[in-house]
Amino acid sequence: MKTRNLRSICGMLIMALLVSFTAAAQGKPTIYILATGGTIAGQGATNIAAGYKAGVITVDQLVNAVPGLDQVATIKAEQVANIGSQDMNDEVWLKLAKRVNELLKQPDVDGIVITHGTDTQEETAYFLNLTVKSDKPVVLVGSMRPSTAISADGPRNIYTAVACAADKESKGRGVMVVMDDKILGADDLTKTNTIYVETFQNPNYGPLGIMYNGKPVYSRTTLKRHTYNSEFDVTNLTALPRVEIVLSYSNATDLFIHSAVNAGAKGIVTAGVGNGNVTTLMQNAMAEAVKKGVAVVRSSRIMTGPAAQWDEIDDDKYGFTASWFINPYRARVLLMLALTKTNDYKEIQRMFVEY
Ligand code: DGL
């Protein structure tokens, strides 16, 4: 009996080795698809209905719906979550970043594709851009139409995302998003339209490149620090500092600045008007918050252009940080991670220039 068990274990081991050698011998890279939910995994009542439920289809169903994917790479798949990304949270972020880093340490894993809702995709992409510790490609992908829609964009987006992650040219470029044949950097990613398939843009820097004929064609690299060159490490983190965003507008009061401080926020990002300006009432409350040890970053609600230092607000006088080209949603991500290392506004300002 024992001999027979031993023989069957050896047989399975030899089979496993043969499979991995075959894949390598075929020259096909191994890409892990980690699914988190979103419209790409959504189901509509009809094939034209605008309404649908996000996060219904499983990762195996997603992969099986993409013809020819197995010619591009050896695919392995895991379901990390299955939520609408409006419910994305710190717990999933930390789980995702730790799983990505664990997988990319394995020599037989060549890249990662993450399926994700589009509502907060820019935030997750930036979080991973700052916390993935590898130069191997990590590509996020979503869709604007559910899997049941006529001309669903999910299957094509998954195919091109895998093709991008599987290509040697994609190494060392930071976390990317591939949708609608565009390759977008996490450094300047913004959802610009609520329904169009071309919604994602890099409004300040332009796309990293395009997917053409099933291959990435790059036209820029990022000048910002990321992934293997990032100083942030989530390995031992089980929670992230609380950072709130407060919008400025005509006649805005100090209500939400005080509320954020009273709720225990360690940081506040303001989505200011113009070059990150805020009402005097808000500014006074922000200065008070800094005196109480709360970090304050001035960003802008405007889609392009910087919330720069040395403009209408004397940041050094109050201990504020200017976000430059980082929009409020990514500024919140960077400030959360910055606060795991420092509360010094000059150090935080360095980070907002470098990342
Ligand atoms: N519920 C939204 C989300 O999961 C749908 C948007 C989408 O995925 O395109 O982000």
Report the pLDDT value the prediction gives residue 47, as an integer from 0 to 100.
Answer: 79
Per-residue buried b or exposed e for 317-331, using 16+ beta carbons within 10 Å of the residue's own CB: ebbbbbbbbbbbbbb
pLDDT level of residue 326 (50, 70, 90 thresholds):
very high
Identify whether the C-beta of residue 165 lies closer than 8 Å to the C-beta of residue 63: no
pLDDT in tens, 243-300: 999 999 999 999 999 999 999 999 999 999 999 999 999 999 999 999 999 999 999 9
CA of 269 to the centre of ligand 1 (A): 24
Read off the tokens for 144.
Answer: 């604007």
Residue 311, classed as helix, strand or coil, is coil
Spatial CA neighbour of 34 closest among 133, 110, 112? 112
Report the pLDDT value the prediction gives residue 31, as an integer from 0 to 100.
Answer: 98
pLDDT level of residue 49 (50, 70, 90 thresholds):
confident
pLDDT in tens, 189-246: 999 999 999 999 999 999 999 999 999 999 999 999 999 999 999 999 999 999 999 9
180 lines ligand 1 (CB under 6 A): no
Report the pLDDT value the prediction gives residue 184, as an integer from 0 to 100.
Answer: 98
Report the pLDDT value the prediction gives residue 13, as an integer from 0 to 100.
Answer: 61
Measured CA to CA in angstroms, residue 118 lies from 32, 190, 231, 237, 350 at distances of: 20, 10, 27, 26, 30
Single-letter amino acid, residue 90? D
Single-letter amino acid, residue 212? Y
In degrees, to the nearest 5, what angle opens at C-alpha 136 toward C-alphas 135 and 141?
Answer: 120
pLDDT level of residue 8 (50, 70, 90 thresholds):
low
- Which residue matches tokens 């992230």? 240
pLDDT level of residue 42 (50, 70, 90 thresholds):
confident
H or E, element range at 346: helix 345-354
Indicate whether 44 pLDDT > 80: no
Partners of 201 in the β-ladder: 190
DSSP string, 221-240: ---S--GGG-----TT-SS-
Mutate to test the pocket of ligand 1, among 36, 39, 329 (most ligand atoms within 8 A of CB): 39
Spatial CA neighbour of 180 closest among 158, 204, 203? 158
Report the pLDDT value the prediction gives residue 7, as an integer from 0 to 100.
Answer: 72
Spatial CA neighbour of 166 closest among 220, 225, 211? 211
pLDDT level of residue 67 (50, 70, 90 thresholds):
very high
Identify whether the C-beta of residue 140 lies closer than 8 Å to the C-beta of residue 177: yes
Which of 39, 118, 124, 148 is flagged as catalytic?
Answer: 39
Read off the tokens for 145.
Answer: 């139409």
Average pLDDT of the residues in 37-61: 81
131 given a catalytic annotation: no
d(CA 306, CA 338): 20
86 lines ligand 1 (CB under 6 A): yes
d(CA 56, CA 131): 28
pLDDT in tens, 121-154: 999 999 999 999 999 999 999 999 998 899 999 9
CA of 5 to the centre of ligand 1 (A): 49
d(CA 41, CA 22): 31
CB half-sphere exposure, 20, CA atoms < 13 A: 10
Give the pTM. Answer: 0.92
Question: In the structure, how many helices (H) and strands (E) does the chain have?
Answer: 11, 16
Identify whether the C-beta of residue 234 lies closer than 8 Å to the C-beta of residue 179: no
Mean pLDDT, the chain, integer: 93
CA of 119 to the centre of ligand 1 (A): 5
Read off the tokens for 64.
Answer: 């099986």
